[in-house]
Amino acid sequence: MFRSEHGWQRIHAPDVNNALRAWGEGPYSAKEFRTWSATVLAAVALAREHETGQRGPRAIGRAVRDVSSALGNTPAVARASYIDPRVITLFQSDRVIEVPEARRRRPLPWK
């Protein structure tokens, strides 16, 4: 919902997607932004797991659960539909993003 000069107006998915396409001047949708966000959140969560020495399937499971919590989805949906699988593959190969010092001390935004 948004407030206009005529009062509160309903917003539907096509309205959001059309606005994104107009603003972004390309074929974008809300799902692409949600996927991007989920992938970034997963990359940060996996990097934090890596810093603590956690590198196995349980670390991946914790990161996926954290992302699913932020998205309001189940872990299965988050992993299958929103987290880019390359982030997990790279984590399994011991390659993660560098988390800035300021981010290391702050709690994750969804906790």
**Looking at residue 111, what is its pLDDT?**
52
The full DSSP string for 4-51 is ETTEEE---HHHHHHHHHHHHTSS--HHHHHHHHHHHHHHHHHHHHHH
**Domain residues for 49?**
29-105
Alpha carbons within 13 angstroms on the beta-carbon side of residue 15 total 6
* Residue 75 falls inside a structural domain: yes
Structural domain count, the chain: 1
Is 86 within the bounds of a domain?
Answer: yes
pLDDT in tens, 1-33: 878 898 998 988 888 888 888 888 888 888 888
Average pLDDT over residues 46-53: 92
Residue 19 maps to a domain: no
CATH number at residue 49: 1.10.132.120
Residue 59 has pLDDT above 70, yes or no: yes
61 contacts: CB under 8 Å, gap ≥ 6 = 75
7-9 vs 2-4, strand pairing mode: antiparallel
Q: Which residue has the higher pLDDT, 93 or 105?
A: 93
Q: Is the pLDDT of residue 49 over 90?
A: yes
Identify whether 96 is part of a domain: yes
In a domain, 101, yes or no: yes
- Residue 94, amino acid: D
Cα radius of gyration rounded to whole Å, the chain: 17
For residue 77, tell me if it sits in a domain.
Answer: yes
Sign of the alpha-carbon dihedral angle for 64, 65, 69, 72: positive
- Asked whether residue 17 is domain-assigned, the answer is no
Quote the pLDDT of residue 19.
87
Residue 6 maps to a domain: no
